Structure 1
């Protein structure tokens, strides 16, 4: 004695093609909403959590950051934070303010190329993807600028372009 499948009366009033498509359309919409909510986060940008004076300096820097950097529009990572900023699409230049002091500054990379622009010294590190990471040294808060391969004509250009703002907002 099998059980009969009971279809609600509201559905039986609909034409057959609509009934057949109702479940696949509902599932597709659910998948689209889920994928959209997952992609709104930006997992590749870790948001620093500075405290005290470093947080104050980073917020002041955030307020002064340009809407455009070397011809690339600003498109900040998600979730929004006064401690992160980004310019360009893919690849993009990312600034993080208030990061912890990089351990590499004490290791074998401590003597890597560290150019100074407008009294701001940027320790540099070449990344595995061909890009560069630049971190300010001798400042009240550490500022990191990551420039993936292809994000700028010269990988140091974004850090150099931000030096005046860093000098003005984060004391040395």
Structure 2
């Protein structure tokens, strides 16, 4: 003998149309929350569009990039591009190759700290969120490494760790 279905008192106090919709609405909300939790909270990364030799150099750099950088696993943004790579989740380190020459290189920030590591000069810029942006100078393609606050013990470490690969793939 089948058991009788018991409806909670809270639902029986509601009008019939509301009772009929309560379960489907609750299920729909659960599905929306579940799908929302799958989406990435990372901000969209603008994909550079280099051309000619710069694009060739950037593709060569992309093929040489490591699967792990300073203990951070590689998780490239979607859709995949040979001009963008990322390591870590939140915050994440982002490399973009073939960017346009930053306007700041001609402005008041042109004299900001620009260390050279293994013959690769990195112009640096402190970001408003406490992170840093490093851009190679005097290379056949501009390479940008963004290091959000907290992504590395020393903000310059990711750029320094990538210097040999940049030097080998992006001629100066």
Q: TM-score, normalised on structure 1?
A: 0.81
| Mapping for residues 15-164 of structure 1, pairs under 5 Å | 20=21, 23-24=24-25, 27-28=28-29, 31-32=32-33, 35=36, 39-40=39-40, 43-164=43-164
CA distance in 2, matches of 1:93, 1:140: 22
Distance 1:75 1:66, change over 3 A: same
1:102-125 CA-to-partner distances (Å, cap 9, x unmatched) read 000000110111000010000000
The answer to whether the 8 Å contact 2:74/2:86 transfers is: yes
CA distance in 2, matches of 1:29, 1:81: 34
CA distance in 2, matches of 1:162, 1:62: 11
Distance 1:33 1:51, change over 3 A: farther
Matched with 1:5 is none
The answer to whether the 8 Å contact 1:41/1:78 transfers is: no
For the aligned residue pairs, the C-alpha RMSD in angstroms reads: 2.3
The answer to whether the 8 Å contact 1:42/1:79 transfers is: no
The answer to whether the 8 Å contact 1:86/1:92 transfers is: yes
Give unpaired runs (5+ residues) of structure 1: 1-14
CA distance in 2, matches of 1:88, 1:30: 28
The answer to whether the 8 Å contact 2:86/2:92 transfers is: yes
Which consecutive segments of 4 or more residues in structure 1 shift more than 2 A? 19-23, 25-37, 39-44
CA distance in 1, matches of 2:79, 2:126: 27
* Aligned-pair CA distance for 1:35: 3.2
1:11-31 CA-to-partner distances (Å, cap 9, x unmatched) read xxxx897x6566325633663
Give unpaired runs (5+ residues) of structure 2: 8-19
